[in-house]
């Protein structure tokens, strides 16, 4: 279910000059914010939690997920170059799983690592806040990569839809409508962070057992459906 050649091509597409520049911007901004907050405010556990929850997990992780998830396959479908890959003797579910692994790896590298570093800058991992939000970023990376890879497979407007979900649904509706938070990857990942962090420092509107079930279920369903959609794509001249 993993093809090194497909993985290499996907890494090359995601880490090309333009996309790599975009991927580096948000982590750099997070570290800059963390350093500024630490310099002007000193060590404050609640402020550290607010910065990591409000920017790292709520904004940076989903946006990087959009870039990595949709970029792993969307451009190939849009420009038609996917037909060359589909013509190779590689099973189509293998293509999806390989691209998902690459998208997850890229999302984790550009979101979880800077989240951990920013947490240490802010308060030295007091109340286990840095570790808690790093774990949340790791699990959120998996679900976001799967969801946005699926979007890249089924729609030519995957980036726009992904941005609407990340910025409008999770950030705007999630802050205004309590029921919307149940259908939020951010809240699911916060449930794990809540269990790890100090008491009262991190809260989630979703219980841990439900959050884990939803994270696993959404990841598996999105991956399976993406594989099914890719399997239905036909090459010119096949019929």
108-143 in b/e burial notation, b at 16+ Cβ within 10 A? Answer: bbbbbebbbbbbbbbbeebbbbbbbbbbbbbbbbbb
% residues pLDDT > 90 (the chain): 58
- Residue 188 structure tokens: 């699911």
- pLDDT digits over 13-60, tens only? 888 777 788 889 999 999 999 999 999 988 899 999 999 998 999 999
Contact by Cβ (8 Å): 49, 1: no
pTM: 0.91
Detail the DSSP E strand segments found in the chain. none
19-35 in b/e burial notation, b at 16+ Cβ within 10 A? Answer: beeebeebbeebeebbe
- pLDDT digits over 162-182, tens only? 888 888 877 776 566 666 678
| CA–CA dist 56, 103 (Å, integer) | 18
The answer on pLDDT for 195 being more than 90 is yes
How many DSSP H helices and E strands does the chain contain? Answer: 12, 0
- pLDDT digits over 47-71, tens only? 999 999 989 999 999 999 999 999 9
| CA–CA dist 153, 125 (Å, integer) | 39
CA distances to 25, 109, 131, 190 from 120, in Å: 20, 17, 9, 19
What pLDDT shows up at residue 1?
Answer: 80
What pLDDT shows up at residue 205?
Answer: 86
Average pLDDT over residues 182-187: 87
């Amino acid at each position: 279910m993993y093809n090194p050649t497909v993985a290499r091509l996907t890494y090359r597409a995601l880490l090309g000059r333009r996309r790599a520049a975009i991927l580096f911007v948000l982590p750099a901004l997070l570290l800059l914010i963390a350093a500024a907050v630490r310099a002007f405010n000193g060590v404050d556990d609640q402020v550290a939690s607010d910065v990591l929850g409000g920017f790292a997990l709520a904004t940076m992780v989903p946006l990087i997920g959009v870039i990595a998830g949709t970029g792993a396959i969307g451009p190939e479908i849009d420009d038609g170059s996917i037909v060359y890959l589909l013509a190779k003797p590689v099973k189509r579910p293998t293509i999806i799983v390989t691209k998902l692994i690459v998208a997850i790896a890229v999302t984790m590298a550009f979101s979880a690592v800077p989240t951990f570093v920013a947490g240490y800058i802010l308060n030295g991992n007091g109340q286990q806040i840095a570790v808690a939000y790093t774990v949340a970023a790791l699990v959120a990376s998996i679900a976001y990569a799967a969801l946005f890879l699926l979007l890249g497979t089924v729609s030519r407007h995957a980036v726009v839809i992904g941005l609407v979900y990340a910025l409008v649904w999770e950030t705007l509706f999630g802050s205004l409508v309590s029921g919307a938070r149940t259908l939020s990857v951010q809240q699911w990942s916060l449930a794990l962070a809540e269990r790890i962090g100090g008491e009262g420092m991190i809260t989630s509107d979703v219980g841990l057992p439900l959050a884990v079930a939803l994270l696993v279920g959404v990841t598996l369903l999105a991956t399976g459906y993406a594989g099914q959609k890719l399997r239905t794509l036909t090459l010119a001249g096949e019929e």
